[in-house]
Amino acid sequence: MNDLALIKELKNEVMDELDLSASTSDEELEAKIEEIIFAYSKEKRLTASEKQQLIDAVFSSFRGLDALQPLLDDKTVTEIMVNSHDEVFIERAGEVIRTDIQFPSRAKLEDIIQSIVSRVNRIVNESSPIVDARLEDGSRVNVVLPPIALRGPTMTIRKFPEKPISVDDLIKWKAITAPVASFLESLVKAKYNVFVSGGTGSGKTTFLNVLSNFIPKDERIITIEDSAELQIRNVPNLVALETRNANTEGKGEVTIRDLIRTSLRMRPNRIIVGEVRGAEALDMLQAMNTGHDGSLSTGHANSTRDMLSRLETMVLSAAQLPVEVIRQQIASAINIMVHLTRLRDKSRKVVSISEMIGVENGDYVLRPLFEFVEERETDEGVIIGSLQPTGHALEQTFRLKAAGLEVPDITTMIS
């Protein structure tokens, strides 16, 4: 008998002996599972480890995420990719590998998906087949159902770290140098508007979270996200807002644009938009331009210049404005642009920090302050390099001076 069949048989035995329609506590359920598996182990001579694995698997089939629960409990797994009920991949230490984990059926996977999305008041079905949700621990979930997903229900889970990643972690992992991290901390405290860009899996949300925790404790912060992921621990006056999909009747949708507009009436010192993807870029830029200095956001792009082009396209989707006007608005709203990249050795690093000077002759004047310099690659394929100053000084220093902070000499700043 294979593992799936055995778990199903033991689960059925538990269901025969317990009235699960009543309010059975987790403790009662686990005690019954242990009783049945201990009886089973006497015949099959299971080791203590095998018994515990069976207990966990059967319990997860009732209360957890079934076959996925061991992966969620495994701290070394950072991403879970369910391509279909019988094909599950994971990412561990930057490497994507296929597992032997399967769901008993497509229907079981659909049940798990519905369980996840219903907990956060989301709806996913054939008429609305794409949804973003989150688990109780904050892990991000994306679901795509047929007919969009041709091979059956698809689910991707970006796991949420138990302990928020700190700037010290980024320095230890060599994603950024200590002097540059200190420079960015000063910029955040001095209320520079910072925009973080990067490709898929480059660590934008993680980096945004690190920057957010530099914000002084006495400010009022509004965070706006599709699925709440930010973990801001040091600001007590914090309001976290999350979008909502339309219901089955197509009503009740709350977009990022709606939330940005609402947030302006909530007396925020700063607004943090988890990620801009469309027309909400216009509202975000207007917020940055109307007294909400020190606001932060991220966007998906392959370079800093590419991010600026994408922002222009996003704003155009909201309002038919001349490109010159859009560029002026972007240039006056954003002070600092940070770009992240996932390098070929799977490491995530800050590869450039640039200062937005303004617009001249119809184009952006973007001054690179730091750039990642690759020195060599080891025999094991590890890239050796660091973020180095370009020799340009920070031009707009008035915010630092107004905040009573020292203007650092970044032209000679080395790790």
Question: DSSP character for 72?
Answer: H
Give me the sheet containing 95-98, strands edge to edge.
Answer: 95-98, 87-92, 77-84, 154-158, 140-144, 130-134
Looking at the structure, give the CATH architecture of the domain made up of residues 167-412: 3-Layer(aba) Sandwich (3.40)
Q: Distance from CA of residue 387 to its chain's centroid?
A: 24
How far is residue 103's CA from residue 88's CA, in Å, rounded to a whole number?
A: 9
CB 177 within 8 A of CB 351: no
Cβ atoms 337, 353 nearer than 8 A: yes
Q: How confident is the model at residue 22 (pLDDT cuts 50, 70, 90)?
A: low
Domain 67-160 has CATH 3.30.450.370: yes
Domain chopping of the chain, boundaries: 1-63, 67-160, 167-412
Task: Give the residue, 8 or 346, on which the prediction is more confident.
Answer: 346
Query: For residues 104-136, b (16+ Cβ closer than 10 Å) or e, as one string?
Result: beeebbbebbbebbeebebbbeeeebebbbbbe
> Tens digit of pLDDT for each residue in 196-244?
999 988 889 999 999 999 999 999 999 999 877 888 888 899 999 988 8
Q: What is the pLDDT of residue 299?
A: 94
Higher local confidence (pLDDT), 392 or 160: 392
Would you say 224 and 326 are in contact if contact means Cβ atoms under 8 Å apart?
Answer: no
| pLDDT tens figures, 360-390 | 998 999 999 999 999 898 988 889 888 999 9
Taken in order 207, 202, 347, 187, the sign of the CA dihedral is negative
**Residue 28: CB atoms within 10 Å:** 12
pTM for the full predicted model = 0.79
Backbone angles phi, psi at 244, to 5 degrees: -140, 135
Q: Which has more confidence, 248 or 403? A: 403
Measured CA to CA in angstroms, residue 32 lies from 28, 29, 59, 275 at distances of: 6, 5, 10, 46
Number of Cβ within 10 Å of residue 382's Cβ equals 13
Instruction: Report the DSSP pairing between strands 77-84 and 87-92.
Output: antiparallel
Assign 272 a pLDDT band (cuts: 50, 70, 90).
Answer: very high
Tell me what the mean pLDDT of segment 395-400 comes to: 94
Give the closest residue to 264 by CA, choosing from 240, 231, 286, 235: 286
